[in-house]
A = this chain, B = another copy of it.
Amino acid sequence: MERKPFFMLSNDDGIDAPGLHAMYDVLKEIGEVAVVAPATEMSAVGHAITLSDPLRVWSYHRRGEFFGYAVKGTPADCIKIGYWALLKRKPDVVISGINLGANTGINTIYSGTVSAATEGAILGVPSFAISLATYEDPKFEYAAKFAAKITLELLQRGLPEGVFLNVNVPACDEEEIQGISITRQGKAVYKETFDKRNDPRGNVYYWLSGQKVEPETSLDVDDGAVAANRVSITPVHYDLTKYDVLDELKSWSLEP
């Protein structure tokens, strides 16, 4: 008998999040699923790992049955501790999501959802992050179905070393989906504002708010594809080197 494929599932919205449960239910139909997810919401934690504190892990139950491990840590912590300490065998695919809210453009680097998939790729496992581009009234069905399709594709094809996928699904109904775009990360950045306030004791504090300035509209860009009701798939990696600048830098006179 062939062994079922084995998936590790995480997210940054926490093990309670409906997006993770929607993903779980679909993955369960095509293989075994090990959930290792943050105990609480961990958005915008970037690629944080917990070094100076111990990690606590609880068994999380759903409808009276063991569902997975809740970790008091970040998404990256979850993948690391799952892989190195909790799971009995190496997963065939690492899936992170379904996140509430798009992770496109510059948000990619702040995203805990993406960081879990990054850890999967570092471990040499085909991995992807998947996000639904809405915060309101999310319907995860189509995104979960599409994620299952990608999972099967990854089982068959794998991915080049160090590469993983950042998938963003528009929040429209399935019938309105206009297709799939293979995209690059958008370049639009934020114009931030900090709302300065006084607390009841007169001390100053600030709230960050900001909005993306002119997101790109090309269908070859993650922001543009999602805005046009297309599923965006961006191949990403964790080698930050800007290779085409190496030669220019070598011409600088920095020698002592």
Contacts and interface: CB of A to CB of B under 8 A. Distances in A.
Number of copies: 2
B55 A48 contact: no
A238 B237 contact: no
Given A182-B246, A242-B237, A246-B182, A48 B110 contact: yes
Contact of A55 (B182, B184, B208, B242): B208
A157 B252 contact: yes
Given A149-B254, A179-B256, A240-B236, A46 B49 contact: yes
Interface in A197-256: 197, 203-208, 231, 233-243, 245-246, 248-250, 252, 254-256
Nearest to A196: B85
Given A44-B48, A54-B197, A249-B233, A241 B81 contact: no
User: For the side of the interface on A, what is the size category?
Assistant: 35 or more
B81 A194 contact: yes
Nearest to A233: B249
Interface in A10-25: none
A80 B55 CA distance: 29
Contact of A252 (B83, B153, B184, B206): B153
